């Protein structure tokens, strides 16, 4: 297909497609004439992947290139592409909130929680430091966050994450497995976060209705 069709199929404007081509995020099409190239289904798929990462995952354009390179690098062990996806999702943060002592204490608590749930993670996992930063922020806002609280959250998320990892590997070709891993890491985070917000609304509404009933007529009667 021509570039105009590629744009129409994916909903990505032609200038944006040209920008991705120039930046090397999208491989060049097959040249069919001067100033004309032919694009195939792999271009459609790659364009959709770029848009999903940037629009839903909030991945910055400069990190998208690294993620795509990891997907395309057949020599990179499957397990390590998780790290690449992680780093794109949790880019470096220049400054830590709070003092060094507060941050070190939080990092110690994160490691204590990881030891309690017996998760093996590398010390340079960006999520480990990102989690410690969030603990510092919560504490500075007056929250008492304990190692046990972190363990409770970890135990809640553990079966979901284990399922997700199992689902990625399934006798598929490597490129497909890696793409699934990256897409799953980014897009299913968004699914979980949205469901959590909807669950908040549900539980908070139920609580408000329960209180309202109690206030208006004492206990709700059977059948009400």
Residues 129-158 that bind a copy of itself (CB under 8 A): 130-131, 133-135, 137-138, 140-143, 150, 153-154, 156-158
Buried b (16+ CB within 10 A) or exposed e, 101-133: ebbebbbebbeebbeeeeeeeeeebbebbbbbb
The CA radius of gyration of the chain, in Å to the nearest whole number, is 23
Q: Does 8 bind a copy of itself (CB under 8 A)?
A: no
Under rule CB under 8 A, how many of the chain's residues touch a copy of itself? 82
In the bound state with a copy of itself, the residue whose beta carbon lies nearer, of 25 and 183, is 183
Q: Which of 34, 197, 215, 222 binds a copy of itself (CB under 8 A)?
A: 197
Q: Which residues pair with 38 in a beta bridge?
A: 30
In the structure encoding, which two tokens stand for residue 17, read together? 């497609």
The site map against a copy of itself for 13-32 (x = CB under 8 A) is --------------------
Q: Does 56 bind a copy of itself (CB under 8 A)?
A: yes
The site map against a copy of itself for 86-105 (x = CB under 8 A) is x--xx--x-x-xx-------
Query: By the 8 A CB rule, do 187 and 52 touch?
Result: yes
Q: Which of 120, 144, 221, 224 binds a copy of itself (CB under 8 A)?
A: 120
In the bound state with a copy of itself, the residue whose beta carbon lies nearer, of 33 and 196, is 196
Contacts of 56 (CB under 8 A, 6+ apart): 186, 187, 190
| Secondary structure of residue 33 in the 3-state scheme | strand
């Amino acid at each position: 297909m021509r570039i105009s069709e590629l744009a129409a199929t994916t909903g990505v404007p032609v200038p944006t497609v040209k920008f991705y081509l120039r930046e090397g995020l999208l491989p060049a099409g097959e040249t069919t004439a001067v100033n004309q190239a032919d694009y195939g289904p792999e271009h459609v798929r790659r364009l959709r992947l770029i848009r999903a990462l940037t629009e839903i995952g909030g991945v910055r354009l400069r990190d998208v290139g690294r993620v795509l390179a990891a997907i395309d690098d057949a020599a990179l062990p499957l397990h390590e592409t998780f790290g690449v996806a992680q780093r794109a999702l949790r880019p470096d943060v220049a400054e830590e909130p709070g003092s060094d002592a507060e941050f070190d204490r939080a990092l110690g608590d994160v490691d204590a929680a990881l030891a309690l749930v017996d998760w093996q993670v590398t010390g340079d996992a960006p999520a480990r430091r990102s989690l410690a930063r969030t603990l510092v922020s919560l504490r500075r806002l007056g929250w008492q966050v304990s190692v046990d609280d972190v363990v409770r959250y970890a135990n809640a998320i553990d079966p979901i994450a284990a399922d997700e990892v199992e689902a990625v590997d399934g006798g598929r070709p490597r490129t497909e497995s890696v793409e699934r891993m990256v897409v799953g890491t980014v897009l299913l985070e968004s699914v979980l976060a949205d469901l959590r917000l909807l669950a908040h609304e549900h539980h908070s509404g139920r609580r408000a209705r329960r209180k309202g009933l109690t206030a208006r007529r004492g206990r709700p009667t059977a059948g009400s």
